[in-house]
């Protein structure tokens, strides 16, 4: 008998197990709702044209090896004029405001992982609203 044919049932079984493992949902982690005591502090002059640094403090939590961060800034209220320039990053995000006035924005920090079976998993670490007054 051909050895390749005799191994076929075993190969099909292994392929089926791998398919099922990749298709199974991964249980949600208890921390998926964010780090409750995390803080974001604002450093720098809050004046037009000056860089303002937003510093994430995750209270000792570190991103696991193989994951990366994603920072999103969504404006809820801002003066008319050009949007601030934003250089997103973790542990710091830098914003430069071009127009004086009151700003309110949502700041979201996600931990991103790409499992070996494809797809992407996002875990929200910080989801907060920040108010800042920018002077002339």
Q: Point out which residues pair with 127 in neighbouring strands.
A: 108
Structure tokens at 23: 């298709």
- Torsion from C-alpha of 63, 89, 110, 19, nearest 10 degrees: -70
What per-residue confidence (pLDDT) applies to 36? 78
Looking at domain 30-134, its CATH class is mainly beta
Predicted TM-score (pTM) of this structure: 0.72
Q: How many CA atoms lie within 13 A of 4 on its CB side?
A: 0
Residue 72 to residues 10, 13, 46, 110, 121, Cα–Cα distance (Å): 47, 43, 20, 8, 16
Tokens 């996002």, residue? 122
What per-residue confidence (pLDDT) applies to 26? 41
Question: What does each of the 136 residues of the chain score in pLDDT, given as a tens digit?
Answer: 555 556 777 766 666 555 544 444 443 343 445 777 889 999 999 999 999 999 999 999 999 988 999 999 999 999 999 999 999 999 999 999 999 999 999 999 999 998 777 788 889 999 999 999 999 9
What per-residue confidence (pLDDT) applies to 3? 57
């Amino acid at each position: 008998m051909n050895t390749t044919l005799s191994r076929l049932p075993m190969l099909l079984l292994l392929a089926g197990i791998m398919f099922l493992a990749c298709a199974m949902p991964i249980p949600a982690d208890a921390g998926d709702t964010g780090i409750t005591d995390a803080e974001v502090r604002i450093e720098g002059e809050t004046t037009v044209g000056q860089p303002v640094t937003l510093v994430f403090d995750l209270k000792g939590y570190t991103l696991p090896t193989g994951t990366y961060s994603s920072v999103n800034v969504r404006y809820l209220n801002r003066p008319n004029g050009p949007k601030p320039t934003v250089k997103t990053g973790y542990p710091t995000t830098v914003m430069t405001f071009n127009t004086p006035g009151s700003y309110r924005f949502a700041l979201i920090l996600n931990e991103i992982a790409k499992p070996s079976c494809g797809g992407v998993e996002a875990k929200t670490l910080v989801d907060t609203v920040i108010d800042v007054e920018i002077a002339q």
